[in-house]
Amino acid sequence: MFKTLFQYPRVLSRHADAPLAHKRKSFLKHLASRGTPRSTLLRYARQLRVIAGMLESRLPGSISKEEIVGFAQRWANGQRRRGRAKGRRWSKGHFVQVANAWCAFMGWLKQEKPPPPAFCARVDAWARFLSEEEGLSARTVANYRWWAAAFLGWIQEQEVPLRRVTLLGVDEFMERLSARGLSRVSLATGAKRLRRFFRYTYQRGWCRRDLEPGVLSPRLYRQETLPGSPAWPDVKRLIAASEGPGVCHLRNRAMLLLVAVYGLRSGEVRGLSLADLDWQRRILRVRRSKTARVQEYPLSQATGQALRRYLKEGRPECSRGEIFVTLQAPFRPLSAGALYAVTCSLMERLQIASPKRGPHALRHACASHLLNSGLPLKEVGDHLGHRHLGSTQIYAKVDLAGLRAVAAFDLGGVQ
């Protein structure tokens, strides 16, 4: 690895003869396999030689982040004293960054976790029940888990055991969240999660009485929870505006088509892997984020062409299994905000009127368009991956007057 980075013999021998050379080379090879640019590899290699020299007495072996910071401070002080740096901040920060990454990769970094709270075992049992007995997805279980942990953490602060919790205490907890700025819709969701949790706690004997029926929910006004979405003609404009020759355009267009045509959630798009594309059968496999079920869709012509073009001309060559990855090395899956930024920026540039501007608005637009085209609720629910018809019925309440201009039902015709 050193031979590919350094050309001069003296420099090459300086790095090859420094301590822990084999360990440093393995880490640099790992970075190179992720598509890290040569300039970054050079910077890491130089810093690794310094780190190995300073930490030779501690490595290989377990080392804490606090110890690394101490060595970094010594290094930064020396750099400034020798006149190689004006300040200590950059030298110290880069030392800590590279040392933490290297030690974590080698398994040397101490993982100092705070002790779990006393109620952790109950939250874990609750999560296992939802996952194994109810069959909920990891994302949905995490949401239920958050509400249970938040409530149990609050009563622990109040020094109230779970067996002595009253409805008055539950109301105080909801009032506290309301004071922190949670909306009525979020509080209503929380009340629903807590009802289900209290039913479970009563069945397990953790509570002396069943609190589920008495948990109050904030009043939601009519139309308040209806999904906001752009009109379908505006969705077509947005898809058309994503066309372009750049690799960013190729990736964004493929993602937007998946959201608009199939009504996929942002996490479902970001979670798609290369193995989910069956080109021979022209099938797309999607793992639903809320139910963890795998659903198969026929690849429409427009979406298939967009995906094929992105994979051939736009996707970086890397070892990642996800379809959509970052365009800059080191290549990694897209963040939760990446698709939101793409959708929101296009809506603002095209001045598309919509109460919501994220990718979920396109999912709502897809559902509304399907219903407006005369498809039964059951078929629309199946298309969106809903488990219950009630989740789809909410779209039937949406005012579809703005969608009457859509002439024919042809999701695949989005251009």
Q: Known catalytic residue: 363?
A: yes
- Catalytic residue, chosen from 363, 364, 369, 383, is 363
Distance of CA 27 to the CA centre of its chain: 26
Beta carbons of 166 and 207 less than 8 angstroms apart: no
- Catalytic residue, chosen from 290, 320, 369, 383, is 290
- Catalytic residue, chosen from 265, 315, 369, 383, is 265
- Catalytic residue, chosen from 24, 92, 193, 386, is 386
294-298 vs 283-287, strand pairing mode: antiparallel
Q: Known catalytic residue: 265?
A: yes
- Catalytic residue, chosen from 360, 364, 369, 383, is 360
Q: Known catalytic residue: 386?
A: yes
Residue 12 token pair? 């090459």
Q: Known catalytic residue: 43?
A: no
| Residue 167 CB-half CA count within 13 A | 10
Active site residues: 265, 290, 360, 363, 386, 395
